């Protein structure tokens, strides 16, 4: 299988420093404000959300294809909640909201496949210690 690489650099203190994240065709800044408050730039949680929503969508499309169907669209949004526990900041919850357009897919089969994708996509498996909530809608 493949190996993917991402790189980050941080300069300065936690609150006053700044960093850059780089991967594939992306290079962008991140700061304390962009992570814990509201500020320009990205943050690790946003990137986890992008990874999770993309992975879930692809995995669900593959499961639908395994039923001999082709989804017109699978659109997933991931909301990554950053909370705090006794150790410090922690990703407490990820909410996946997914809508699917697929001719011929029954509601019952859709619910089965969307739940399976939530449990089995590689990023869901990676974040298994996190409470992942799913709201899946077949249009």
Confidence of residue 1 (pLDDT cuts 50, 70, 90): confident
pLDDT per position as a tens digit, 67-79: 999 999 999 999 9
The pairing of beta strand 89-101 with beta strand 6-11: unpaired
Question: Token match 């509201």: residue?
Answer: 38
CA gap 99, 139 in Å, rounded: 7
Superfamily of domain 44-138: K homology (KH) domain (3.30.300.20)
CA gap 136, 53 in Å, rounded: 12
What mean pLDDT is predicted for residues 19-42? 92
Instruction: Provide CB contacts within 8 A for 17, sequence distance 6+.
Output: 10, 11, 31, 32
pLDDT per position as a tens digit, 81-116: 999 999 999 999 999 999 999 999 999 999 999 999
Looking at residue 137, the DSSP 8-state letter turns out to be: E
Q: At what angle do helices 107-120 and 44-65 cross, to 10 degrees?
A: 130
Sequence ranges of the domains in the chain: 6-36, 44-138
Q: Can you give the length of the chain in residues?
A: 139
């Amino acid at each position: 299988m493949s190996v993917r690489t991402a790189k980050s650099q941080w300069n300065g203190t936690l609150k006053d420093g700044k960093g850059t994240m780089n991967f594939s065709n992306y290079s962008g800044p991140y700061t304390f404000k962009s992570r814990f408050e509201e500020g320009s730039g990205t943050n690790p949680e946003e990137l986890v959300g992008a990874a999770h929503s993309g992975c879930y969508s692809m995995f669900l499309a593959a499961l639908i294809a395994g039923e001999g169907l082709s989804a017109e669209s699978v659109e997933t949004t991931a909301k990554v909640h950053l909370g705090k526990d006794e150790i410090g900041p922690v990703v407490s919850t990820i909410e996946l909201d997914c809508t699917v357009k697929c001719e011929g897919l029954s509601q019952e089969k859709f619910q089965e496949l969307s739940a399976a994708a939530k449990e089995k996509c590689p990023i869901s498996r990676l974040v298994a210690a996190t409470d992942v909530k799913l709201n899946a809608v077949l249009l």
